[in-house]
Amino acid sequence: MDVLNVLGDNRDMSTPVPSPSREPRVVAPPEDLQEMLNLARLLESHSAPAMLLGPDGEQIPLPLEVYEVLRQVVNAMGNGASVSVEPIDRQLTTQQAANLLGVSRNTLVRLLDEHELPFERLGASRHRRLRLQDVLAYRERKRIDRRSRLDELTRQASEDGLYDVDAGAYRNALAEARKS
């Protein structure tokens, strides 16, 4: 099974680990997005999968799963993001996983040592490899956790009436608190 990895910051992942069957690749959106936007409109206006037309005129329906991935790719590229479709069981180096998570390699190694992410060692080697699926699941858990914490902070601030306080009064109270 493949997964769509959208890199919203338009940066390429560092040197990918070659898979036995193919070299992973990140594709940047085209310079002129008009064709991509036209394709996005076409895909959004149809609920049934499209047909693939071969150069010899042969037509074959796209499986629904392929059609959905195509829609996601076109949508991401239409928004200016680079994309990569990778096998979900792809192995990453610690540097690749760190890049995907947006943390330093040292921070990732600490997470591994704290058992926050599962990893495998290659034989007797000291090199660790992580499954793409595990890294993406960790990233999603952290995103949900951050969102939950932010919602809780917002709720508490609202209950404490902090949204109703004048900005100048808030700065003055903060300055007084810092003097103490």
User: Looking at the whole model, is its pTM more than 0.75?
Assistant: no
β-pair type (128-131, 51-53)? unpaired
110-150 pLDDT, tens digit per residue, is 999 999 999 998 788 889 999 989 999 999 999 999 999 99
Q: What is the pLDDT of residue 58?
A: 92
Decide if pLDDT at 17 tops 50.
no
End-to-end CA distance of the chain: 59
47-94 pLDDT, tens digit per residue, is 777 888 889 999 998 888 888 888 889 888 888 888 888 777 789 999
Average pLDDT, the chain: 81
Nearest residue to 86 (alpha-carbon basis) of 103, 62, 69, 102: 69
Decide if pLDDT at 174 tops 70.
yes
